């Protein structure tokens, strides 16, 4: 059997280039991964234990840390995912019309937006049919657009985030995507917890209705 040397050389070059591309892609994926802490800080541990000593028994738990502007997803007490968020520019609080992010224990009462395209604009929890122009620069627009997904929160603590004048669900407190992605990482919302669109879609798919959400 005879082989064409030029063909063999071409195949060898193609094989080499394919390997180089694979190594570059692998390096990119490794560098892009967020390394999750195996153990949370002592301060975080104490804060969670102050809310409930049994937090590690929960199948799923979302913790929103206002100070660090982070959202942690726990599964049986272990950190499964960490996301950067944006809470209210007006600070924390529960009063109606305060536009502040409420503290305390909540649950996800409703999940809205399953299957919608990334960046889908929701108004009154319905897709308008439009896709948001995502702003990557740190620009604060006059519109607080809700995009991609909604996790609608309901308070669990009477007088703090549940009941007349302080009710989180009646205040329409959501975890949701935003068109102002350039502001993620610092307080910028009108009370809700904003996330990158890809992150809120990821979180949406990982949790169920009635998952507890602790805002601390």
Q: What is the pLDDT of residue 53?
A: 85
DSSP 8-state code for residue 158: B
- Domain annotation covers residue 48: no
Q: What is the pLDDT of residue 29?
A: 42
Q: What is the pLDDT of residue 20?
A: 59
Which residues touch 134 (CB under 8 Å, ≥6 apart)?
119, 147, 179, 181, 197
SS3 content of the chain, % helix, strand, coil (to 5): 25, 30, 45
Cα distance between residue 54 and residue 51, in whole Å? 9
The torsion of the CA quartet 158, 161, 163, 164, rounded to 10 degrees, works out to 130
Confidence check: pLDDT of 35 > 70? no
Q: Could you read off the pLDDT of 53-75 as tens digits, one per residue?
A: 899 999 999 999 999 999 999 99
- Domain annotation covers residue 30: no
What's the domain count of the chain? 1
**What average pLDDT does range 161-168 have in this prediction?**
98
Confidence check: pLDDT of 28 > 70? no
- Domain annotation covers residue 8: no
**What average pLDDT does range 162-188 have in this prediction?**
98
**What average pLDDT does range 199-216 have in this prediction?**
98
Q: Which domain holds residue 128?
A: 59-215
- Domain annotation covers residue 40: no
Confidence check: pLDDT of 102 > 60? yes
- Domain annotation covers residue 28: no
Confidence check: pLDDT of 10 > 60? no
Model confidence band, residue 7 (pLDDT cutoffs 50, 70, 90): very low
Query: How high does pLDDT run on average in the chain?
Result: 88
**What average pLDDT does range 148-174 have in this prediction?**
98
Q: Could you read off the pLDDT of 105-124 as tens digits, one per residue?
A: 999 999 999 999 999 999 99
| pTM reported for the whole predicted model | 0.82
- Domain annotation covers residue 146: yes
- Domain annotation covers residue 172: yes
Q: What is the pLDDT of residue 143?
A: 84
Contact indicator for 87, 189 with CB cutoff of 8 Å: yes
**Which CA distances in Å does 208 have to 74, 150, 185?**
13, 12, 25
**What average pLDDT does range 3-9 have in this prediction?**
49
- Domain annotation covers residue 11: no
Question: What CATH number is attached to the domain comprising 127?
Answer: 2.40.440.10
Q: Could you read off the pLDDT of 142-152 as tens digits, one per residue?
A: 888 999 999 99
């Amino acid at each position: 059997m005879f082989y064409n040397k030029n063909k063999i050389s071409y195949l060898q070059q193609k094989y080499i280039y394919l390997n180089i591309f694979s190594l570059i892609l692998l390096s990119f994926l490794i560098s892009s991964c967020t390394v999750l802490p195996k153990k949370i800080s002592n301060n975080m541990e104490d804060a969670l234990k102050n809310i409930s000593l049994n937090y590690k028994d929960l199948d799923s738990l979302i913790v929103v840390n206002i100070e660090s502007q982070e959202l942690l997803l726990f599964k049986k007490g272990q950190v499964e995912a960490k996301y950067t968020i944006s809470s209210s520019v007006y600070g924390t609080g529960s009063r109606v019309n305060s536009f502040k992010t409420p503290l305390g224990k909540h649950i996800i009462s409703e999940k809205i937006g399953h299957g919608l395209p990334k960046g889908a604009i929701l108004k009154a929890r319905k897709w308008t049919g439009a896709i948001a122009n995502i702003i990557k620069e740190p620009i604060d627009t006059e519109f607080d657009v809700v995009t991609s997904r909604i996790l609608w929160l309901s308070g669990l603590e009477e007088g703090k985030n549940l009941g007349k004048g302080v009710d989180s669900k009646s205040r329409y407190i959501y975890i949701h995507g935003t068109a102002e992605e350039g502001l993620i990482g610092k307080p910028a919302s009108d009370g809700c917890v904003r996330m990158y669109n890809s992150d809120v879609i990821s979180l949406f798919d990982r949790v169920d209705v009635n998952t507890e959400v602790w805002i601390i």
